[in-house]
Amino acid sequence: MSQSYGKTRWKRFALVMVPSVAATAAIGLSLANSALAASFSISGQQFKVKTEKLHGYNFAQFGSIDVETDGTFHPVAVSAFDTATINNLCQSVVTDLSKLGLGKLTLQLNAGQDPKHPVEAENLLIDLDQLKADAEFKNINIGQDASTLNGTALNGWKTHPRLGSQGKPTKGTGFAQAADEATLTGVEQTAWATSAGTFKLSGLKLEIHKGDGPGNECY
């Protein structure tokens, strides 16, 4: 990285990239100029993720677009980690099957509840639009050009469906931030997609609950 700002603590970290309105406008402009690709097709269902602690190395974050099959697009902040461990992971998604007379059903996944056996991930990418946590960064650069980001998670984007053949973001195409190390505790986030080169879920437990809301979703 070009600069080093040492250790930084931010309480209640929430999409620290930029204010949401400005982010949406900037991403839309970049998309129109072909700076970002809108090629990553998603289901169109958001899901909630709650974790006790996420600790990762070579953190990067910048703006992108996720697109549904009908063309609806969603501005997102992509968080990338070369490696990460996650303690007490909960992930939930609600599906409305009222037309079939089944009402709303919540699929909830839990893993990494044993502190000695957390969830482990390599080349982790999270497309999120809301995040709350307590965060600590080491050697963070804020306002870095997205094209200068490095790491194995981002290098994989050369063939990743989010960017297709365009590869990594090109020079001057957007606001980004990066840190050697990041620790987020008390995480609550909503996301459109998550992917990883390797995702090891220790103590995996999956359940389907009738209904949504507290007690059925992660939060």
Domain range annotation of the chain: 11-210
pLDDT for 149: 85
Tens-place pLDDT, residues 126-164: 989 999 999 999 999 988 888 788 888 887 654 445 544
Residues 6+ apart with CB under 8 A from 102: none
Tell me the backbone φ, ψ of residue 77, rounded to 5 degrees.
-100, 120
pLDDT for 27: 45
Cα–Cα dist 140/59, whole Å: 9
Ranges under pLDDT 50 in the chain: 1-4, 15-40, 158-160, 163-167, 171-172
Model pTM score: 0.80
Residues 6+ apart with CB under 8 A from 99: none
pLDDT for 64: 80
